[in-house]
Amino acid sequence: MQSPTQTLAEGLRLPTNGLDYAILAIYFAVVLGIGFAARRSVKTSLDFFLSGRSLPAWVTGLAFVAANLGATEILGMAATGAQYGVAVVHWYWIGAIPAMVFLGLVMMPFYYRSKVRSVPEYLLQRFDKSAHLLSSALFAFAAILIAGVNLYALSIVVEALLGWPQWVAIVVAGFFVLAYITIGGLSSAIYNEVLQFFVILAALIPICVIGLKKVGGWDGLSGSLEKSHGGDFMTAWGGTGIGDANPLGANWLTIILGLGFVLSFGYWTTNFAEVQRALSAKNLSAAQRTPLIAAFPKIFIVFLVMIPGLVAAVLVPKIGTAGSDLTYNDAIPYLMQELLPNGVLGIAVTGLLAAFMAGMAANVSSFNTVFTYDIWAKYVVKDREDGYYLKFGRLITAIGVLASIGTAFIASSFSNIMGYLQTLFSFFNVPMFVVFIIGMFWKRASMKSGVWGLVAGTGAAMVNYFYIYKQGVIDIPTDQGANFVSAIVGFVAGAVVMVAVTLFTAPKPEAELAGLVYGTASPGLEEPPAEGDDAWYRKPALLGWGAIVLAALCYVPYSF
Amino acid sequence: MSELHNEVSELERKSATAARLFDIRRIIGGLFVVYGIIVTIAGISPSDADLNKAEDININLWTGLAMLALGLFFLGWLWLRPTPPPAEAPEGE
């Protein structure tokens, strides 16, 4: 779901002064302070990897949204806004909210009650070791890759904005992430994400306010963009009829099925970097509310990234084309430079750096959990005392950060390869959701069907993208549109193969499925509701459906 | 009950996070009060250049005050609803 930041234009150097650097320095000190202060709460491996399953819902909920709100996401979505206009809302209202609500209302009871500590561990309980090992290894590898790409993106932005050499930015940011996660574990990562959430709001809101005033308010903004880019630019669905041409290269069907269903559900419900935040909540009700609480800010964050993108499209009409130095990704840095005086500028720089570090930290803190619990403790060094795995977890965190620093340096010399690898890995996410949904709702789905569903779905999505689309067998206008179609193909292929394999192989004994699959009895797994959780505003169903209705209502002004 | 279930339940019993982890509201409150004060001061007598740049909005002042308010909100919330003491006996919290 995240696009790597391409090289920023020259000449974006910000006029930072001592005040801005003081604000930045205070933030870095607080980040480290949180790590040290969280240290004394880490006694067991569960404390280190899952905060002892004891955090309140509002904390895990804000961390859930912040873990996704990395800087590559912020700059990338502003770029999408500058390029495609209001259509960027699809990535939020249809491409995130339904999946987050589904995770909270439908899937979380199976995840949380079964006490699995990671997403791959669920696959081990539900299917078999081959599905488990495949998804663990791929996840660990992809997490390091994404952390490295994040770090590389940070170094480009920091070099352009502040003038630090790339290697300095990579080493400094890597060191801070290393320190606060190794010392304080997931609690430290989550607390920093909550803090980052508020700092990034404080950075984006002033940009939107001043930006809107500069282009004459929302009316001025839509007036000039409709004149320069056509009426469809300011609508969500304009030009998405099947067969119509639009810049996104996708029609309403591929948007709903590909982005809204397959890609979004795969990312939000099975990506451990997200699900981990919910698994660290203190009880089932809090775990269910984690993605639901996250859904409400998520609905409105799109305005904070879309408005800077649109404003940049007005102020720099040639943005992203050969006629301009600025690429689409420069939208937010450009507005920071043009509009923010010292002071707020320091907050904005801090927010951007915080978002880069949080995006990296979310991947590192999920990587270390999967590597320790799912790979090391299950296949390499088994059955040792808990203290050993805690120590190992700290060690692998350090190794993981060093590996992502290495990845960032590789990326700085071979950025094309990294982009290619990211596309490649995005296809491993596609069949995850089909395997989960069939595994959770069909008792009969056999032990072996899991791994074959994963392999078939990934394979089909890749064949569709790299052969059928890239070789021009069928004509899809853009990479984005092809991505959506590939996701649908992968989903269908995964489902067909799972059903076929199930018909010929043995099911898992029903006793082993208790609490993992819909319709199984799970005696002893029910927990009494905590005090206060029966309040109406803590009802998962109300929160979930409320978010869906709100997201649907948000579409109304942009649909007609 | 599965092996995993027992293992994780055992770890949950030994876990120290609930008892020892500090309350994040204090940090958010503290940081935003400090940021709020710094940025508000920067906005008290803005230069013409700064005002010009920000479309005649005294953005430092408004952002500073808003951050200060957010910081005070978190500190107030913490004051009104302090961190609940960790559950010791089953009948507690």
Domain boundaries along the sequence of chain B: 24-80
Joined tokens for residue A550? 């709100």
A71-84 vs A284-315: helix crossing angle, rounded to 10: 50
- CA atoms within 13 Å, Cβ hemisphere of A193: 31
Joined tokens for residue A544? 């979930």
The residue in chain B having the minimum alpha-carbon distance to the alpha carbon of residue A205 is B63
Tell me the C-alpha distance between A69 and A407, whole Å. Answer: 21
Put simply, the answer to whether B39 touches A347 (Cβ < 8 Å) is yes
End-to-end CA distance of chain A: give it in Å, rounded: 27
Out of A46-60, A139-153, A529-543, the most confident range is A46-60
Residue A268 Cα, gap to closest chain B Cα (Å)? 24
Residues forming a β-bridge with A281:
A55
Residues forming a β-bridge with A55:
A281
Transcribe A174-193 into DSSP letters: HHHHHHHHHHHHHHHHHHHH
**Chain B interface test: which of A16, A47, A112, A334 (most B C-beta within 10 Å):** A47
The residue in chain B having the minimum alpha-carbon distance to the alpha carbon of residue A525 is B1
Distance of CA A514 to the CA centre of its chain: 30
pLDDT of A9: 53
Q: Residue A135: which of A401, A397, A434, A423 has the closest Cα?
A: A434
**Superfamily classification of domain A18-519+547-558:** Sodium/glucose cotransporter (1.20.1730.10)
Mean pLDDT of chain B: 85
Do residues A260 and A240 touch, judged by C-beta distance below 8 A?
Answer: no
Which chain A residues are closer than 8 Å to B64 by Cβ? Answer: 343
**What phi and psi, each to the nearest 5 degrees, are found at residue A25?**
-65, -40
Tell me the C-alpha distance between A349 and A408, whole Å. Answer: 21
Nearest to A194 among B24, B47, B93 (CB): B24
- Tokens 């319709």, residue? A519
Put simply, the answer to whether B60 touches A341 (Cβ < 8 Å) is yes
Q: How far is CA B50 from CA A120, A485, B35, B53, in A?
A: 52, 48, 19, 5
pLDDT at A256 over 90: no
Amino acid sitting at position A505? T
The residue in chain A having the minimum alpha-carbon distance to the alpha carbon of residue B41 is A343
Interface A–B counts its CB contacts (< 8 A) at: 147
**Chain A interface test: which of B4, B12, B15 (most A C-beta within 10 Å):** B15
- Tokens 């559900």, residue? A265
Which chain B residues are closer than 8 Å to A125 by Cβ? Answer: 2, 4
Q: Residue A175: which of A324, A339, A364, A24 has the closest Cα?
A: A364
- Tokens 């206060």, residue? A532
Nearest to A41 among B12, B17, B51 (CB): B17
Tell me the C-alpha distance between A216 and A481, whole Å. Answer: 33
pLDDT band with cut points at 50, 70 and 90 for residue A239: confident
Higher-pLDDT residue of A211, A5: A211
Find all residues with CB under 8 Å of A409, minimum gap 6, and list them: A167, A170
Render pLDDT for A450-496 as a digit per residue (tens, 0 to 9): 999 999 999 998 888 888 887 777 777 777 778 888 888 999 999 99
Which chain B residues are closer than 8 Å to A286 by Cβ? Answer: none
| ipTM higher than the 0.95 cut | no
Q: How far is CA A205 from CA A78, A92, A212, A214, A555, in A?
A: 13, 18, 11, 14, 21
Residue A417 Cα, gap to closest chain B Cα (Å)? 40
The residue in chain A having the minimum alpha-carbon distance to the alpha carbon of residue B7 is A115
Put simply, the answer to whether A115 touches B9 (Cβ < 8 Å) is yes
Measure the CA dihedral A177/A178/A179/A184, to 10°. 80
Q: Residue A329: which of A82, A162, A118 has the closest Cα?
A: A82
Nearest to B35 among A23, A33, A51 (CB): A23
pLDDT band with cut points at 50, 70 and 90 for residue B86: low
The pTM of the full predicted model, rounded to 2 decimals, is 0.92
Put simply, the answer to whether A339 touches B31 (Cβ < 8 Å) is no
Put simply, the answer to whether A44 touches B22 (Cβ < 8 Å) is no
**Chain B interface test: which of A41, A195, A378, A385 (most B C-beta within 10 Å):** A41
pLDDT at B28 over 50: yes
Nearest to A30 among B18, B27, B38 (CB): B27
Tell me the C-alpha distance between A24 and A20, whole Å. Answer: 6
Tell me the C-alpha distance between A6 and A279, whole Å. Answer: 34
**CA angle, A482 then A501 then A454, to 5°:** 40
Instruction: For residue A106, count CB atoms less than 10 angstroms from its CB and return exposed for 0-12, middle for 13-18, buried for 19 or more.
Output: middle
Mean pLDDT of chain A: 87
